Structures are given as structure tokens and as C-alpha cells.
Structure 1
């Protein structure tokens, strides 16, 4: 274990993460670049004292579980995760939890689809990347913390912005079933991940509907080929829904497109101009 290099590596990774990247407020008194030590400790589910000792090169050998939690909290790439394990004197193993890091090429792809609403979801249905039209069609995810960017949690625990249906979608019941089926597969794939376990436990405790669907043990989700959004500014928008799997990251790219020449295509074009601004007039 190389305590000094491990300490320096943790500090530099911490300082590069903006609070907004993990759903934390900046605050008027923030002087530390990036995240504070206590914030990293909270995200990694370890004590602030222990994390501080790690950055001071005074801590004992961290366990594999702690290293996995630190890698997730600091949003490390696969290469950085392996480096962290080597610095700690523990050969890296397979990832213990779903990846939240989106490849730069995928982010660029979203931006190159200006006529389509596109986003990336993690294996737990957290929206981790999106383009401008997706924000206009659904909501401005940049204003939400990680908790409220999780579409499974929003579906079963609320709040619902469109009268009880998340984003006013036409396939709300089908989405509920599909998301539970996918989450069950994720829970089996990452049995030791504390975030996955906590999410499932929260949903089981807070939603009778989720508990009922979870008890079915269904894992064969059917693809959704089209759906309709009921948007508060431009009305109903019918879209085709295509999902592309990113196998090495266990992520999915969701792309919504309208039929060429349709009224929905015109509505999406209008949304691309409106963006995320509100169209209601104050009284």
C-alpha cells in the first residue's frame, strides 16, 4: 500500500468534482475546490474521520468494499478504479456496482442528435446524461440532485409533475413493470452494491405497487416501441422509442424521435426553440 500516493490521488480526484455534479449545493462559503472531505465520505458511506486519515496518509489498509464505494463516490473511470486498487495494495476485481460514468463519445452522440430527445440511464434507471431536447421534453435534469434523477424512484414514490403520471407518458403502467423487471436483474448482478440494496429497500417499503410487481420475479422486459408525452407547453407528442445498450458500462441510451412530417415532429421542433423555459405568464 502506497499511502502517500493514495492520499494524493484521492485528493486530486475529489477536487475535480463540482458539487453540482453530485447534486450538492455550492453555497456562499465554499472555499475548497471540488467536494469537501465530509461530502466524499457521505457519498462513499464511510466516516469523515476515516476518509480524512486516508487523505493524510495515516489510515489502515482500506477494504475492497471501501475502495469500491470511494471509486463510485469520486466518479472514477475503470482505469482510475484499477489504479486506486493498486495504490491500496489490493488487485482490482470486477466492478461491484453499476457504472455512472458516461463515455465522452456517448455524450457527444447525444449532442449530435438535435432533432431527437436522447438520454443515458444507468442500470438503476438514474438519468446520467441527456441532451437539450430531452430536458425540454421531460425536465431540466441539471436542476435535480441524483435522488430525483432516478426514474424508478420518481415513478413509484413521486413527486409526479404531470397529474400522477411521470412526464404525462401514455405507457405509465408498462414503464412501471419494465423498470421493476430491469431493477431486479440489476439487483442480482450487483448483490453487494449498497446503493442498489438501499434503492430496492426504499421502494419496497414505500410503494405497495412496487412490492407487488417485485414479488412477481419477472425479468423479461418487453421493449417499448412508441409512447406519447403530454407536455404542458406544446401538448401531446407521439414519439418512437429506441434503446441502445452500452454493454461494457451496463447503461442504456434512450432516443425519442417523431415521425417525419407529423404534428409531433413540429412539436419537438418547437420544444427545441422553447427549451426548458416556462411558458406560463405570471398573474
Structure 2
């Protein structure tokens, strides 16, 4: 006798969580989400005998069933799970204005809702609704939240699974700063150093860098991206950075980054917008110039001590695909004295 087709309602599937009925594939929140390639390869594969079918014995593809089940599970459980995870990760994240060395006491741990909202380009009220389980963020918002909280790739994938989204198949530009890099920043506390990701977005810095470049530390969103600031920002803030060698080095590095991470939508948008906003960037990008020169001299304008000319060294940290930008001055020079004054003022204020 042929097996009788099993027909489950959406409520029944949601109640059983897809893990207690024969013939229904188990879907566990937190497991590796299916990729777009997985879904496309199974799109037209009908389920076999003994598995659920639609009314009228019409076949239903595995991909369609997977989407339906994920939608049900999200509506049943993801509200609280997503909100709770988002809040825990926000409270452990590094505050955007704290850098590596924080001398001020905070009333709440990690990032505040308004800080996360500013970094991700949404409202604080929207973050509150998500944490209360009253909303389902889009894939773009999830990507922005992951960047703002510096999530790892597995954490990003888990966040996507809670929201019912399939993460991109190829990874994004990594933006995690490892403990070794943080120790380097702390031990070289009197030398201004900042750490950027491969897209040239500011991730971490030490107190000396904050004393010299407070505007960069306080910036949010795309204004934290050094490449964007060099090509579209006020040239008076960092004179010399607009010179051809430095610009060409940035473009060369960004082009290599775009090749390594072809599915990073944030990087794609950055490159597209810079080509529109800056003729210099567009010309360098189209010329395919290749500059490996890593030593530059720039003049940073400090609001209190005036212009400080520094030697700028760019180093690659292969673990995490990071960039370390190191500023030094000639010992005994006027610039060295001004840098010392700026650092002294910063120490007194904090």
C-alpha cells in the first residue's frame, strides 16, 4: 500500500518546530543557514514519498518548504531571540567614541542604543523596537548592524538566521580587531596609531591618535572611512593626503580589496559613490594605477595647537586583513612639540 501523503498546516509546522514529525526536515536556529547556491540547486527538486505535499497531491519544492518554515519559525520565535541576541551583542560591543583606551565611566555597558543607531544609519527607536521583538530588519539593516557591532562572520550568519535572511555566500570585508593588535595599540600609547579594515574604515585607535585626530574619532557612518574623507572631505583637515602618491596607494589597495570581497555591498556602494563624488578617484580607479608606496607625509590640522606635519606609514596586518596607519614626527622638531602639547591637553581633559 502506498504511503498516505501527510498534510500539515502552517500552525502545525510552527508548533512542532519542524523537528518532531516524520518526513519533516529539522531546522535548528543557530545552525548554518542555507546559501543562495544551496537554495537554487534544490529549487526544482520535489519531495519524495512520505514527505509533506500540498493539497491535491501537488509537489512542493524543498526550497519553497524551507522558506515557508523559516518564515513560520521567525514569526513564532525570532521576535524574542533576535531582540535578546541584539541587545546582548550591543552591550558587549566597543563604544564608538571609546577607542581602545577609555578614561570616562559609562552608565551602561557597551554601546548605547543611540550610538548603535548612529553607526548603523537607523533611529534609536527602531533599535528599541527590534530589541523588544517588534520588528524584522531588512538584510541591509542587518549588514549595517553587524558592521557597527563588529560581528564575526559566524555571528553575522546567526543574526541573519534569526531574522529569516540568507547571508551572502561570499564573506564581507572583515572588521574584527584581534587581541594582538589591541595590545600593539596600548603598548605604543605615545605614538598616534589607528587601525582600519580593508575598506579603510576606522575600527580602533589609541589615545595618542585620538588626541591628534579627534574629528576622525567622533565621526560616524561613512565619515569614519579614511578613503572617503581623503577624496571628498575638507582638504584643510589633512593636507598632503590629497597628494597623488597617497591617493594612488588608497585606490590600489581598495581595488585589491574589491577583488577579494566581490559580494560586499557596502564596499560596492562606497566605490560607486566615490566615483561620482570625486573626479580624482574616478580617474585613478579607471586608470588601474598600481602604487605600492607606503610612506607619506601629511599635515593634520589640530584645533588648538595648529598644523602638525607627520610621517605617515601604512602597514598591513594580515590577520584580519587590517591596515595600521602610524603617525610619527621628527624628534626635537616643532611638530614633535605640538604633538606633545596636544597629547598633554587630551590627558588633562580625560
TM over 0.5: yes
Structure 2 residue 234 is the aligned partner of structure 1 residue 159: yes
Distance 1:274 1:179, change over 3 A: same
Distance 1:176 1:214, change over 3 A: same
CA offset at residue 150 of structure 1?
Answer: 1.2
- 1:203 is aligned, of 271, 274, 278, to 274
What is the number of residues matched between the two proteins? 255
1:245-273 Cα deviation digits (max 9, x unpaired): 22131111111122334443323222211
| Alpha carbons 2:241, 2:247 under 8 Å: kept | no
CA RMSD of aligned residues (A): 4.2
- Structure number with greater CO (CA < 8 Å, separation at least 6) is 1
Q: In structure 2, the residue corresponding to 1:191 is in which secondary structure?
A: coil
| Alpha carbons 1:110, 1:118 under 8 Å: kept | yes
1:195-224 Cα deviation digits (max 9, x unpaired): 111111111112222111111123x32233
Distance 1:127 1:210, change over 3 A: same
CA offset at residue 77 of structure 1?
Answer: 2.8
1:37-57 Cα deviation digits (max 9, x unpaired): x959x659xxx7xx95x9859
Alpha-carbon distance in 1 for matches of 2:267, 2:311: 30
What's the TM-score once normalised by structure 1's chain length?
A: 0.69
Match of 1:12 in 2: 88
Alpha-carbon distance in 2 for matches of 1:230, 1:58: 44
Q: In structure 2, the residue corresponding to 1:248 is in which secondary structure?
A: coil
Distance 1:56 1:238, change over 3 A: closer
| Structure 2 spans left out of the alignment, 5+ residues | 1-27, 30-73, 99-110
CA offset at residue 158 of structure 1?
Answer: 1.9
Q: In structure 2, the residue corresponding to 1:275 is in which secondary structure?
A: helix
- Specify the structure having the higher radius of gyration (Cα): 2
Distance 1:103 1:140, change over 3 A: farther
Paired residues for 1:93-172 under 5 Å: 96-160=171-235, 162=236, 166-169=237-240, 172=243
Match of 2:295 in 1: 225
Alpha-carbon distance in 1 for matches of 2:134, 2:242: 53
| Alpha carbons 1:110, 1:131 under 8 Å: kept | yes
Q: In structure 2, the residue corresponding to 1:268 is in which secondary structure?
A: helix
Alpha-carbon distance in 2 for matches of 1:82, 1:96: 10
Paired residues for 1:239-258 under 5 Å: 239-258=310-329
Match of 1:175 in 2: 246
Q: In structure 2, the residue corresponding to 1:215 is in which secondary structure?
A: helix
Distance 1:69 1:145, change over 3 A: closer
| Alpha carbons 1:237, 1:268 under 8 Å: kept | yes
Q: In structure 1, the residue corresponding to 2:208 is in which secondary structure?
A: helix
Distance 1:240 1:250, change over 3 A: same
Q: In structure 2, the residue corresponding to 1:260 is in which secondary structure?
A: coil
